[in-house]
Every structure is written in C-alpha cells, then in structure tokens.
C-alpha cells in the first residue's frame, strides 16, 4: 500500500511536468514520429503503474488527440498532487517555525481557508490536522487519481480493432515460424540424444548378450552379463534424462506448485516463492512455466551476481503471470546467450508475452503472461 501511494504521487507529479513539456513542445509534436514516441513513452509509463503490458502503439491523429487530453486532464491532477504534498511539507517544516516569519508572511493552515498561525497551539494542533488530512488524501486519493489518468492514457492510445488484428496476424506468423524452427531443433536434439546415447548402448547390450550366448566359458559369460546389466542401467538413465527434457516428471508427480518449490530450493541463490491460486492448469502451460522459471533462475545464478531472488506466480482468471526478480547487477542482454530469446519463443508458442526490465545496476525483473484456459 505504501509503495502504491508513493508511486501514485510520483506518477502525478511526473504527469504535471510532462503536461508542461507537452505544451512547450506542441509544435514538435506535430511531427508524427515525435508524437508517436512521446505517446509510446507515456503508454509504457501508464502500463508500468497499472502492472499491465503496454498495448502496442496508436499512431496518427490519436497521438495528437491524446496529447491535448493529457494536458487538459493531467495538469489539474498533477497540480492537485503538488498542492497536497506541498502543503504537507509546509505543515511539517514551516508551521513549527511560524514565529520566525513576519506577521504578514506567516504560514497558513489549509491556504484556501487562510487560517494564519499566530501561536503554538494553532501551529501544533492545526498542523497535525493538516498533515493527517492531506496525508490521508496522498495515501488513498492520489493513487486512485494516478490510476484514473493511467487508464485514460491506455484507453486513448489503445489500438483499433483493425490494428490489433493486423498485429495479431504478424505476431502469429512470427511465432509460428519460431515454433516450427524450435520444434525442428528439439526433434533433432532428441533424435541425436537417442541415436548417440541410448541406441548405442542398446547395440552394446545386444552384442554383449550375443557373445555371452555363444561363449562356453562361465567366467566370460558372467563378465558379459554383468557388463550388459551395467550398460542397461546406463541406457535407462540416459533415456530418463531425454524424457525429462520433453516433460519434467516432477510436474506429473508433484504438480506445478511442488515442482517450482523444488526448483527454487535447488537454486544457487535464496529464492522467495509466492504462489497464488494456480489451480488446475493445462499440461502445456505447466511445462512452459516450469522451463521459463528454470531458465530465469539459472540466469540469476550464472549471470546476475545476485544475492537473492523472488519468484511470484499468480493466476488471474485465464491469465497466468510469472515474475522473477533479482537484486543483481542488471544490464541483461538478450544477444549474449542469456536464454531470454528461448523464453520468448516458448511463451510466444502459447500466445503469451514477455517483458524484461533490467537497467544497469539492477534490479532485474522478468515478467511473463500466458493464457491458461483449461
């Protein structure tokens, strides 16, 4: 709640600043590229406050319409936040020092009421009331106003049905190509593992048993049978390893909750786990979630130089959200083999989305949303 109040107040103060910037830069915003970039930045900002993925881009006249609405709505909301927080600061700092001001310049309680402070009783009692009232407004009202502005921003900058359909086709086309390529690579890997490992050991077993059948020396037969038994155990172990890459047995044995708890316990850094209302999930979603989290925790251990991490998995209706956060050095680069591209391909195959927030110096947050209709 405290973080939400702080982020709401900061959002509104930033909104006030950006409305002034919008007015000053209005001639520049007439250029489509500038208006689109300015709107996209605000869309990401609003989406971050609401904790939802940014919804593509609008473009065209809607960017300019949004800029005007942003000024009309954002300026009074930001000004309200500034007055609220500013008067809390006045009550906390200036009122106790009322005696240091000239009589005609002493601070007032609730300036719109123009109640001037002239004694200690008024300063202490009135100041406490002002801080309490405005603090309650900053705690409850400002976050609500911030979310209202953020929702308005996202609503005005949302794509049209035609734009959503066009982008949907493009995403499905890209994801289909990626899934086909990934599926082909996965089949080749499984075939190679079976051919080079399990099949080779089965051939060795057959040869050992054949030699044992043809031998008349009991010691030789015993040696060959022992080797065949050992090779059989090795082949079974390799076969289990291959099967685990297709669908982790722990998911079938313990479910996603138990599998993730075990995964976090084996991590190289301490992981705080929060699982909220997962319920029954499709097997495909469970498998992708397991592999995504396994890869993310591996990245935390290998690349992040983190001392702790947090995992939160929550189901909200037909959407499964995954959030992995660490306190490492940040600056994650998808082009340097961190496995993020593989995570994106797996999630895209289920029509999900991935967001990576990893500024230099950290922290790093990987957020995944996946549909999970049963």
Question: In 3-state terms, what secondary structure has residue 211?
Answer: helix
Residues 233-239, mean pLDDT to the nearest whole number: 78
Q: β-pairing, 364-371 with 353-357?
A: antiparallel
Is residue 132 pLDDT above 90, yes or no?
Answer: no
Bridge partners (DSSP) listed for residue 368: 322, 354
Q: How do 319-326 and 364-371 pair as beta strands?
A: antiparallel
Mean pLDDT of the chain: 78
The answer to whether residue 305 scores a pLDDT higher than 80 is yes
Structure confidence by residue, pLDDT tens digits, 250-292? 777 788 888 888 888 888 889 999 988 787 888 888 888 888 8
Q: Which residue has the higher pLDDT, 211 or 1?
A: 211
**What is the C-alpha to C-alpha distance for residues 81 and 300, in angstroms, rounded to an integer?**
38
> What would the mean pLDDT of 110-121 be, rounded to a whole number?
60
pLDDT of residue 367: 92
Task: Quote the percentage of the chain above a pLDDT of 90.
Answer: 5
Across 174-203, average pLDDT = 67
Q: Does the pLDDT of residue 114 top 80, yes or no? A: no
Q: Where are the domains positioned within the chain?
A: 2-159, 164-246, 251-371
Q: pLDDT band at residue 2, thresholds of 50, 70 and 90?
A: very low
The whole-model pTM stands at 0.46
User: In the chain, which ranges are E strands?
Assistant: 108-109, 115-116, 271-276, 309-316, 319-326, 353-357, 364-371
> Which pLDDT belongs to residue 115?
61
- The mean per-residue pLDDT over the stretch 168-193 comes to 64
Partners of residue 367 on adjacent β-strands? 323, 355
Residue 304's pLDDT is 81
Q: Name the CATH topology of 251-371.
A: Heat Shock Protein 90 (3.30.565)
Of residues 144 and 95, more confidence is placed in: 144
Looking up tokens 């057959």 gives 206
Q: What are phi and psi of 366, to 5 degrees?
A: -110, 120
Nearest to 291 by CA among 205, 145, 158, 182: 182
């Amino acid at each position: 709640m405290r973080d939400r109040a702080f982020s709401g107040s900061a959002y509104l103060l930033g909104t006030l600043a950006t409305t002034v910037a919008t007015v000053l830069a209005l001639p520049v915003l007439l250029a489509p590229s500038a208006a689109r970039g300015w709107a996209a930045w605000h869309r990401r900002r609003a989406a971050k406050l609401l904790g939802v993925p940014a919804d593509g881009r609008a473009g065209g006249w809607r960017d300019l319409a949004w800029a005007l609405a942003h000024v009309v709505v954002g300026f009074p909301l930001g000004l309200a936040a500034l007055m609220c927080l500013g008067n809390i600061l006045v009550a906390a700092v200036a009122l106790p020092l009322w005696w240091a001001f000239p009589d005609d310049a002493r601070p007032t309680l609730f300036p719109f009421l123009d109640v001037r402070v002239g004694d200690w009783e008024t300063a202490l009692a009135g100041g406490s009331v002002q801080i309490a009232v405005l603090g309650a407004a900053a705690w409850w009202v400002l976050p609500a106003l911030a979310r209202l502005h953020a929702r308005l921003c996202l609503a005005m900058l949302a794509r049209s049905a035609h734009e959503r359909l066009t982008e949907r086709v493009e995403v499905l086309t890209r994801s289909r190509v990626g899934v086909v390529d990934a599926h082909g690579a996965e089949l080749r890997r499984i075939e190679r593992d079976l051919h080079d490992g399990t099949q080779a050991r089965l051939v060795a077993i057959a040869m050992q048993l054949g030699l044992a059948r043809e031998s008349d020396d009991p010691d030789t037969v015993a040696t060959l049978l022992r080797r065949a038994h050992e090779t059989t155990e090795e082949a079974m172990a390799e076969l289990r390893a291959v099967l685990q890459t297709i669908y982790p047995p722990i998911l079938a044995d313990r479910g996603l909750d138990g599998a993730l708890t075990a995964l976090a316990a084996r991590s190289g850094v301490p992981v705080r786990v929060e699982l909220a209302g997962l319920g029954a999930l499709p097997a495909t979603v469970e498998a992708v979630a397991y592999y995504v989290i396994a890869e993310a925790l591996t990245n935390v251990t290998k690349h992040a130089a983190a001392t702790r991490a947090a995992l939160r998995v929550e189901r909200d209706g037909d959407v499964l959200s995954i959030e992995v956060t660490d306190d490492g050095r940040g600056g994650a680069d998808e082009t340097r083999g961190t496995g993020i591209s593989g995570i994106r391909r797996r999630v895209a195959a289920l029509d999900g989305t991935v967001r990576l927030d990893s500024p230099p110096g950290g922290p790093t947050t990987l957020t995944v949303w996946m549909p999970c209709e049963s």
